[in-house]
Amino acid sequence: MIKKKAPAKKSVIKKKSPKKKEPVLLSGGNPQIAKGYGDGPVQEYISAMPGWKKDIGRKLDEIIVRTVPYVHKAVKWNSPLYGIEGDGWFLGIHVFNKYVKVAFFRGSHLKPLPPGESKQKEVRYLDIKENDKIDESQLSSWIKQASELPGEKM
């Protein structure tokens, strides 16, 4: 009597759906986002900002876009940058442990001066802490002024 072999069972390989990897938070909670141009990388950065800082990031982006609708965006050196196409960058954002730093690259030309001094001659800063109320009128004025100055090439 000849025995027939049972057909071999086909193994089923289940594909795992790729999980979106959470961005690494660097020193001070600054998100590590790959360099990229456009709104996408900036929104990825903002989404990765930890805790209350995410709301600040969204608010800053909203004010910048409302003030300078033709603004160009990028993420470089783990910081969102805002600028004018062909002219360079006028503003950057960076996350630290206790505040979000807004850097005006030609801030020494703004009226009134943003409060934070820098070791770099023309740079001025605005540090926004968790419970700070953002003076949108003043911030919009600085953003508008900064966008009209020659940009920083980076």
> pTM for this structure?
0.83
Residue 138 pLDDT exceeds 90: yes
Rg of the chain over all Cα atoms, to the nearest angstrom: 23
Q: Give DSSP secondary structure letters for 40-105.
A: HHHHHHHHHS-THHHHHHHHHHHHHHHH-TT-EEEEETTEEEEEETTTEEEEEEEE-SSEEEEEET
User: Where along the chain do its domains lie?
Assistant: 27-147
Q: Is-contact 123 112, C-beta < 8 A?
A: no
- Residue 98: left (phi > 0), alpha (psi -120 to 50), or beta? alpha
Chain segment 68-118, per-residue pLDDT in tens? 999 999 999 999 999 999 999 999 999 999 999 999 999 999 999 999 999
Q: Indicate the fold that domain 27-147 takes in CATH.
A: Aspartate Aminotransferase, domain 1 (3.90.1150)
The residue written with tokens 């594909």 in the block is 15
